[in-house]
Structure 1
Amino acid sequence: MAFAQNDASRPTEAPLRKIIADLQQGAPDTGSMEPELGSAVQAQAAAIAGLLQSLGRVQQLEFAGTENGTDIYEVTFERGAASWRIRMAPTGKIAGLLFKPVAAPETRGDDVAMDGLSGTLLKPRDVEHPPVVLLIGGSGPTDRNGNQGGTGPGELRQLAEQLAEKGIASLRYDKRAVGRSAVAGLREEDFVLNSFVDDAVTWLDWLRRRPDLGPRIIAGHSEGGVIALLAAKRTSVAGIVLLATPGRKLGDVIREQLQGFRMDAALQSEASTILATLERGELVPNVSPALHALFRPSIQRYMISELAIDPVTEIKTLTLPVMIVSGGHDLQISSADADALSAERPDAICLTISGMNHVLKMAPADRASQQDAYSNPNLPLAPGLSDAIANFVQQSAR
């Protein structure tokens, strides 16, 4: 891999060039890192490789400054950019490494802001008072398009654009502390599930005050569906669409997903113990580095708040129209989840697309073959998905 050269090379530049190249190949040199960092990077190597591969080859690497002993670089890739931070230990090994892709500006729709949040309002042409769908992203640091780290499948952007072609407006937004909704001083420790429910309700109230828009519908993807269920209890909406939404408590979903991870027996046991402790509402201060991505102490208050929610209990209290969408090749949410939700709302519109995966794209059934679907924004949405959602929205808005 060829890298652009800087005139004034710094001691951190060569290690950063190498680690980017290694990460893109999914083979980080953990021996060049301090042990705790190496363990954490190794645990996330596959996910990082998919993200970096979607950005393409490195075009330029520029030193941008130093902050608290950490060097900051701006790196331009073929299909995006990212800010990288690297800190070296006295041993000469890498002690700190962090990167954050820079989201590209939206080319369609209006940028809107509210209460520190940033979103995109996309309206159809030549339609007065169109119904409007609030699109809520899934778990983690998810932006308005359904991506994490500024790049990914872009399924929410695709859905918004297809709905606009069918006469339906939409608002999608960066989650609080993500993308252009980042607010200085916010920490992971500050969030619980209700923080994001509050944001959804605030956006719905903002939409209600828009004289150019019609009835409001919520569409939540994955964890966003749980947020949508809770938000619908607090404000009046015309309908709700649940996209690949769990029909079980989060603890049951995580246990099933852990079984699919390649993890030694000791880590599996630790993960099970941590999860059971969090379900009791208790924090776990000490977590192995390999499990930090899932159970790091800074997100445990959030997990405790969500572990207490049962989507089946929440859906049975709603009387508004409901649509439940599931995919036959979803590796994160099973058909049993959709069945559990529909059992409580037998009047719901149910759509199952046999070859659709969790990010609403057509993909093979096996995990290894789905990587491209999770990182390629050029793959189209599953056929028939936006048509079915548009029909439900139009019916509900009458």
Structure 2
Amino acid sequence: MDIPRRTLIAHFFMLAVLMPWVTLCADDFDGLWHGEVDITGTSVFVQLDLKSPDDGKRSAVVTIPLVGSYGTAAREVRADDGGLVIASGSPTISVEIVMSKPVEDRSKATFDIISGPPQIVELPPAPLELQRVPRVRELPGASRHDGTLVLPGNSRLPITLVLGDFEGTEHALLDIPAQGLQGLYMLRGAVSPPEDPDQEGAIESHPEVRVWRLPIQVEAQLLIRPEGDSWSGEFRQGQFILPIVFERSEDDLVTARRRPQDPTPPFPYAEVECEIQAPGGHVLGGTLVIPGTKPGANGYPAVVLITGSGQQNRDEELMGHRPFRVLADQLARMGIASLRYDDRGLGASTGEFATATTFDFANDAAAALARLKEAPGVDRRRCGLAGHSEGGLVAAMVAAGLAPALPEADPAFVVSIAGTGVDGGAVLSDQSQRILLAMGGDEELVVSMTKAHHRLMDAIRDPDTPEDEIRAAMRELQGIQLEIQGETLDEEQRSGLENAGMAQMSSPWMKAFIRFDPATAWRQVGVPVLAVNGTLDLQVWHDLNLPAIEKAVREGGGVVEVVRFEGMNHMLQPATTGAPDEYGIIDITMDQTAMEKIGDWILATPRIPDVSGRRKD
């Protein structure tokens, strides 16, 4: 499997010192496991954190950096013939790992790619040996050290290093919140002589140097040496050698950093786990939040929260942030109930994500709305939809009666948070240009790339475009993108990159996203609409999308309020540039002013008549 390179933008008790690791596990499979599997010459790192709680239901958190899976909850963990089967992956690749019963903290396993690019799905299962290691954060005396990488272009990337010792062996974890990376187990690397033997102070020459391998998408090394009670050294990846200094955490907490808006108990509201029966036969796992405030005469107003593009959990978790968890907390404190759910095929939800389109997601959202209307204490005539990014479009489609299986869903209102008003092709062309410019890309090359991107989108919009024309447009675009990034690939790598791009552009979701005009839905929304966006949103540009939403709603005779939040990005965070690489660096998950505006607007929106057919035809 030839995968093109990409640059990094990416309890124990005291008895533990006396007892073998394996005897500390309540279940044969419990623990942190890692290994590397060879897939046609490419080493793929696999990390599994397996737990078996008191109820006996096993769970697994899976990290496979090469396929874009970082701390992903496994879709399924089941016992099988004395072993264990873990099904997981990313939105583009699904894998199945079959573990045999462990012997002395090792398990013979197989790694099978179930869905993804055809050339790798056809490969037979590959052997994988997994080794159990301690959960570093739980080791007695474990310490946390925080540092910041200054990347080319002067952007900053916070990194946390957690070190611990078990039976005389040092273990390390790495957190990179801005990349959504938490608890990556690092591998010990060998110390090589300095490239320049005459170089004074080369870190490789230090007698106490540590070399850690970072098994991320493009493998990197972290070379550190002790400095006082912390560490300093170099981060190396490809041609980049970047200095870094770590400072020991003053509070010595080894847990991953918590975002300041993350809700903490006790909560002044009730949270109830629930299941949503979707029209396709699958089940969506969700969380219903019921306020503790006094309800209105008919119950609480309520809202379904709909995630944006890409497979996401119910909290819309990204880069250490949980926007929907934070928003649900704020709404509950204002007296508004909410329902949020895992996307199909993720977490507690079943169903197939890879082949789903925005229309399928509209079916899921409509089913969630029907479930919300049945919740005790909720005013069924004040139940609406709030969607982020693509979720805003999904909300409009449900309100317009365009959810194929549930056209009579009838929400009381729609809130679009950075939702789209123009087709996906226009959104993607615009965002790629703005993001590259914000990251310091060469302006002339970016202009050329944008023109090439428009040509590719035009080719895909027309269903009759021959595949060879789409491939040619793809190759032209990727060539300019590589030039902007200063990367050179051989022909085999270019072919692999091209095939991956073609697979992405030919997916059912992508074709539907590029071809569907959201105005078709917005014109048919006959309930109140709130459309909000940040003026630094580079992914869904406010001046491209908000006017289009407003125009379409008003053309259909609907009512819409448009709000621009100055200086906020796609996540409604206070931002500097608006570029996605800032999302994880910013501590605020969602601006308080923005959340209060959304809540106030919902509270001010009146009950709908108890009739159907309110959509504009």
Equivalent-residue separation in structure 2 for 1:152 and 1:233 (angstroms): 34
Q: Is the 8 A contact 2:344 2:353 kept in 1?
A: no
Contact 1:63 1:71 (C-alpha < 8 Å) held by counterparts: no
Structure 2 residue 316 is the aligned partner of structure 1 residue 146: yes
* Aligned counterpart, 1:314: 521
Gaps of 5+ in 2: 1-20, 23-32, 48-64, 72-104, 112-124, 136-172, 176-181, 187-215, 219-257, 278-282, 402-408, 475-494, 608-617
Q: Is the 8 A contact 1:122 1:160 kept in 2?
A: yes
Partner of 1:344: 552
State the one-letter code of the partner of 1:245. G
The alpha carbon displacement at 1:206 in A equals: 1.2
Deviation at 1:168, TM superposition (A): 0.5
Corresponding position of 1:326: 533
Q: Match for 1:229 among 392, 396, 405? A: 396
- Give the match's secondary structure for 1:384: helix
Q: Does 1:259 find its partner at 2:433?
A: yes
Residue number among 213, 219, 222 corresponding to 2:378 in the alignment: 213
Q: 1:395 Cα shift?
A: 1.6
Moved more, 303-312 or 215-224: 303-312
Contact 1:110 1:120 in 2 (8 A): yes
Which residue pairs with 1:379 in the alignment?
A: 588
1:304 to 511, 534, 537: 511
2:562 counterpart of 1:395: no
Query: Residue in 2 aligned with 1:93?
Result: none
Tell me whether 1:155 sits opposite 2:323 in the alignment.
yes
What is aligned with 2:566?
354
How much does 1:267 deviate?
8.0
- The answer (yes or no) to whether the contact 2:421–2:546 under 8 Å persists in 1 is yes
> Is contact 1:326-1:351 (8 Å) kept?
yes
Cα shift at 1:133: 0.7
Between 1 and 2, higher relative CO (CA 8 Å, sep ≥ 6) is seen in 1
The amino acid that maps onto 1:110 is: V
Q: Does 1:191 align with 2:344?
A: no
- Structure with greater helix percent: 1
* Matching of residue 200 in structure 1 with residue 365 in structure 2: yes
Cα distance change, pair 16–278 in 1 and its aligned pair in 2 (3 A): closer
Read off the aligned partner of 2:533 and give its amino acid letter. Answer: S
AA aligned to 2:399 is: A
Per the alignment, residue 110 of structure 1 pairs with 272
Q: Which runs of 5+ in 1 are unaligned?
A: 1-5, 21-39, 53-61, 85-95, 99-103
The 2-side partners of 1:359 and 1:311 are apart by 21
**C-alpha distance in structure 2 between counterparts of 1:63 and 1:141, whole Å:** 32
8 Å CA contact retained: 2:311, 2:353: no
Partners of 1:63 and 1:12 in 2: how far apart? 14
CA distance in 1, matches of 2:431, 2:34: 44
Aligned-residue offset at 1:136: 0.3
Residue aligned with 2:431, SS: helix
Structure 2 distance, partners of 1:322, 1:334, is 19
Q: Does 1:244 align with 2:418?
A: yes
Measure, in 2, the Cα distance between the counterparts of 1:179 and 1:9: 21
- Return closer, same or farther for 1:78/1:9 CA change in 2, 3 Å cut-off: closer
What is the alpha-carbon distance in structure 2 between the residues aligned to residue 198 and residue 124 of structure 1? 27
Change (3 A) 1:10 1:243: closer
Alpha-carbon contact 1:146-1:152 (below 8 Å) kept? no
Counterpart residue identity of residue 157, structure 1: R
Cα pair 1:244 1:327 within 8 Å, conserved = yes
Q: CA deviation at 1:271?
A: 5.2
Partner residue in 1 for 2:302: 132
Residues 371, 126 of structure 1: alpha-carbon distance in 2 compared, 3 angstrom cutoff: same
1:365 aligns with 2:577: yes
Distance 1:82 1:382 in 2: 29
Separation in 1 of the partners of 2:288 and 2:497? 39
Alpha-carbon offset, residue 233 of structure 1: 2.0
Whole-angstrom distance in 2 between the partners of 1:199 and 1:124: 24
SS in 2 for 1:195: helix
In structure 2, give the amino acid aligned to 1:66. Answer: T
Who is 2:110 aligned against?
66
Identity among equivalent pairs (%): 24
Return the alpha-carbon distance in structure 1 between the equivalents of residues 287 and 35 of structure 2.
39
> Do the aligned partners of residues 200 and 10 (structure 1) sit closer, same or farther apart at CA in structure 2, a change above 3 Å counting?
closer
Distance 1:304 1:12 in 2: 33
Q: 1:274 touches 1:284 (CA, 8 Å); kept in 2?
A: no
In structure 2, the CA distance between the partners of 1:16 and 1:345, relative to structure 1 (3 Å rule), is closer
- 1:114 CA drift (Å): 2.0
How far the C-alpha of 1:180 sits from its partner, in A, is 2.4
Amino acid at match of 1:130: Y
Q: How far apart in 2 are the matches of 1:162 and 1:63?
A: 46
CA apart distance, 1:354: 0.5
Q: 1:193–1:306: 8 Å Cα contact kept in structure 2?
A: yes
What's the Cα RMSD here?
4.1
Say if 1:299 and 1:191 are closer, same or farther in 2 by CA, change over 3 A. farther
